[in-house]
Chains A and B, each alone.
Chain A
Amino acid sequence: GAVVSQHPSWVICKSGTSVKIECRSLDFQATTMFWYRQFPKQSLMLMATSNEGSKATYEQGVEKDKFLINHASLTLSTLTVTSAHPEDSSFYICSALGLDTGELFFGEGSRLTVL
């Protein structure tokens, strides 16, 4: 089956630094990728939708200058948390929409801890 890979799985960083999370579709092309954030014991909250070659569409309340999303190719989207603070600590999950099948596949998630 199709696989979406996220990297890194775990990251611990100091407050004020920036962290980049990659989301790759390994065996299919994804025109659309979604980025979610999940706090402990809560649901997945959609942060933004990225379409290959165009600017990401951010959900209300999500700071686009803080959460930079780049979707430069049909197999890679990146989320950069800029000037991270402890309140940004969360589980970030990406999902990719298959170009041909329309199926949706999730990455394994990336757990960010900001000290």
Chain B
Amino acid sequence: AQKITQTQPGMFVQEKEAVTLDCTYDTSDQSYGLFWYKQPSSGEMIFLIYQGSYDEQNATEGRYSLNFQKARKSTNLVISASQLGDSAMYFCAMREGNFGNEKLTFGTGTRLTIIP
């Protein structure tokens, strides 16, 4: 079964508009972490934002925020006021396991293209 599901292979958004990237996850762990990474064409993985499973408030980091719905096991990334430089692949990831036994699993990604 897929651990991390990103249902949007690609999205086109007008510059300056907000965009929501979907991500659902599946785990039986009580403690886990959820990440979003951006991967531009250069290939590097750029950390964007993190949400711990016990965090009650939605994480925010500048123009990035998470809509974390624990009961639904979803953690959607919201990018406000999109910019041309936001065009990239976006990956949702989940960290499970305890110290010495962690594992980070990635979703299939969403290719975001910002249109001027």
Q: A interface vs B, CB < 8 Å?
A: 31-32, 34, 36, 38, 42-46, 49, 51, 91, 93, 95, 97, 104-106, 108-109, 111
Contact = CB atoms under 8 A, between A and B. Distances in A.
Contacts, number: 46
* Candidate in B43, B105, B109 with the most chain A CB atoms within 10 angstroms: B43
Interface residues of B, number: 17
Contacts of A108: 43-44
A34 B104 contact: yes
Nearest to A99: B99
B43 A109 contact: yes
Contact of A46 (B44, B45, B91, B105): B105
Contacts of A104: 35, 47, 95, 104
A43 B104 contact: no
B29 interface: no
Contacts of B104: 34, 46, 95, 104
Nearest to B37: A106
Given A43-B91, A49-B102, A51-B100, A106 B107 contact: no
B106 interface: yes
Contact of B44 (A32, A44, A49, A109): A109
B108 to A, nearest CB: 5
Contacts of B63: none
A7 to B, nearest CB: 14
Contacts of B43: 38, 91, 93, 108-109, 111
